[in-house]
Amino acid sequence: MSKDTVSIHGIWASRWVFILAATGSAVGLGNIWKFPYMTGMYGGGAFVLVYLVCIALIGLPVMLAETLLGRRGRQSPVNTLSTLARCSGASERWSWAAVMGMIGALLILSFYSVVAGWALDYILGMVRGEFSGIDGAGAGQRFGGLTSDPVRLTIWHSLFMLLTAWVIARGVVAGLERTLRILMPLLFVLLLALLGYSMTTGHFMEGVRFLFDFDLAKVPDGILAAMGHAFFTLSVGVGSIMVFGAYMPRKASIGSTVLTVGLLDTVVALTAGMALFPVVFAAGLQPNEGPGLMFVTLPIAFGNIAGGNVFGVVFFLLVTVAAWSSAISMLEPAVAFFVERTGRSRGQVTSVIALLCWVVGLGTVLSFNLLADARFFVTDADGWHLYRWTSEGGMTFFESIDYLTSRIMLPLGGLLFVLFAGWVLDRDVFRDELALRHQRLFSLVYSLLRYVAPAGILIILVTELSK
């Protein structure tokens, strides 16, 4: 594998397009839906602090490894790893890490599309003014009404999946690059509009204090969750970033690019928090609502403050845009792989894979209603069961997939990627790709990748599995 190999899927105009794509991938439901509700659940600033440390010591090194491997390999993650392994004289079985990643990304897409569909439903609800003057019971009922209706959920899920497949089918430059050039600026404008709005609620500082005042006693609770979330929010561990790295121009500096993406993702998560919590406080509500924060608490807030309806539309539009630009990155590793493997057109490959994901997504749709009692990993009076029909304990299909991916597959994939970059890939190849001018800086980055990140991830995985 020479450093001048090019990708058959296309190449981006500049490093900025990689930044757009990687940021588009990173910024998603993770930032706007998960991050605020997790911060609420785990007590605010303490969680934020642990999260920031995990991003710096674990998330960014994995992102760096993925980008670097992708650009060196210039193929789908699976073929990139097998080629690079062969060139380094290692076993081609390393490519199984990317196979697992590819499957993980598709599993995430299957439920991600359902949740993004809720946001589509809420745009319509906001436009129709369904939330004006709504109270807690009303908002709960509206959310319950949506999740208990499999047909409505399926319609939105299908629409979102179609949007995602459409961009991917059109290709790396005509689809991804063109769409991202519109979506990403729009996302930032929408976010700023919301931030401006939250400053007018009179509760802005209360929101800020909630995010940044930390109580050390609360730290331990959220550690595992914060680590898992660091992977999820940066989109690392499945090859999404690796496949985008394969389309990155040769000249771009990987280090500063990755740093930019990580910074943007963090800024968006914190800004989303600062835009959201003041609105929640302004309506006299509590931030510890859990996953319902965005779909129950927030609409009550929007329905009861001046201008809330308009900003409600803006908000759910923002969520949709962010989710869309993330969803495409979950589909790309598999599509790139099967295009390489079968030689068929992107359109054909995309249709088949998206359809598969859509079918798995129906499992998530049904886990909120008809199959809510189909539980996995149940521990009850007579022991542990992989599957049980019960209304208590265990995890629904949706919860199981979320858990399996975020808590196990992403860290495991990330671990294998950093190990590969740090220990299998030749040091000279690594140095050449990274192209850092200062030797000290290089040593620092290299040891972060070889020791700190793998050790950190191992600790998470072992702790998680021994729970």
| Minimum distance from residue 160 beta carbon to ligand TRP (Å) | 13
| Minimum distance from residue 96 beta carbon to ligand TRP (Å) | 17
Instruction: Confirm or reject binding of residue 329 to ligand TRP (CB under 6 A).
Output: yes
Instruction: Confirm or reject binding of residue 36 to ligand TRP (CB under 6 A).
Output: no
| Burial (Cβ within 10 Å: 0-12, 13-18, ≥19) of residue 129 | exposed
| Minimum distance from residue 186 beta carbon to ligand TRP (Å) | 17
- Contact of 279 with 306, CB cutoff 8 Å: no
| Minimum distance from residue 145 beta carbon to ligand TRP (Å) | 25
Contact track, ligand TRP, 53-92, x by CB under 6 A: ----------------------------------------
Distance of CA 398 to the CA centre of its chain: 16
The residues that bridge with 387 in the sheet, in sequence order, are 376
Instruction: Confirm or reject binding of residue 367 to ligand TRP (CB under 6 A).
Output: no
| Minimum distance from residue 104 beta carbon to ligand TRP (Å) | 7
Q: How many helices (H) and strands (E) does the chain have?
A: 22, 2
Instruction: Confirm or reject binding of residue 264 to ligand TRP (CB under 6 A).
Output: no
Nearer to ligand TRP, 30 or 73 (CB): 30
Instruction: Confirm or reject binding of residue 261 to ligand TRP (CB under 6 A).
Output: no
DSSP string, 382-437: TEEEEEEE-SSSSB-HHHHHHHIIIIIIHHHHHHHHHHIIIIIS-HHHHHHHH--S
Report d(CA 150, CA 398) in Å as an integer. 14
Contact track, ligand TRP, 372-411, x by CB under 6 A: --------------------------------------x-
Among 51, 204, 232, 337, binds ligand TRP (CB under 6 A): 232
| Region of 227-235, 297-305, 390-398, 459-467 interacting with ligand TRP (CB under 6 A) | 227-235
| Minimum distance from residue 265 beta carbon to ligand TRP (Å) | 7
| Minimum distance from residue 134 beta carbon to ligand TRP (Å) | 27
Nearer to ligand TRP, 139 or 353 (CB): 353
Report d(CA 31, CA 53) in Å as an integer. 16
Instruction: Confirm or reject binding of residue 235 to ligand TRP (CB under 6 A).
Output: yes
| Region of 80-88, 229-237, 426-434, 449-457 interacting with ligand TRP (CB under 6 A) | 229-237
Q: How far apart are the first and last CA of the chain?
A: 43
Q: Which of 138, 142, 93 is nearest to 121 (CA)?
A: 142
Beta-carbon contacts of 34 under 8 Å, excluding residues fewer than 6 positions away, are 229, 232, 233
Instruction: Confirm or reject binding of residue 238 to ligand TRP (CB under 6 A).
Output: yes
Report d(CA 173, CA 11) in Å as an integer. 7
Nearer to ligand TRP, 188 or 442 (CB): 188
| Minimum distance from residue 410 beta carbon to ligand TRP (Å) | 6
Binding-residue total with ligand TRP (CB under 6 A) = 17
Instruction: Pull the structure tokens for residue 169.
Output: 């089918």
| Minimum distance from residue 257 beta carbon to ligand TRP (Å) | 17
Instruction: Confirm or reject binding of residue 303 to ligand TRP (CB under 6 A).
Output: no
DSSP string, 17-29: HHHHHHHHHHSSH
Report d(CA 66, CA 418) in Å as an integer. 8
Angle at CA of residue 34, ends 31 and 353, nearest 5°: 85
| Minimum distance from residue 432 beta carbon to ligand TRP (Å) | 27
Angle at CA of residue 228, ends 218 and 29, nearest 5°: 100
Among 31, 76, 95, 147, binds ligand TRP (CB under 6 A): 31
Among 254, 300, 330, 371, binds ligand TRP (CB under 6 A): 330
| Region of 154-162, 326-334, 360-368, 437-445 interacting with ligand TRP (CB under 6 A) | 326-334
Residues 94-113 that bind ligand TRP (CB under 6 A): 105, 108
Helical H segments across 286-406, by residue range = 297-304, 308-342, 346-367, 397-403
Q: Which amino acid is at 33?
A: W
DSSP string, 191-221: HHHHHHHHHTTS-HHHHHHHHH---GGGHHH
Binding residues for ligand TRP, per CB under 6 A? 25-26, 28-31, 105, 108, 232-233, 235, 238, 240, 326, 329-330, 410
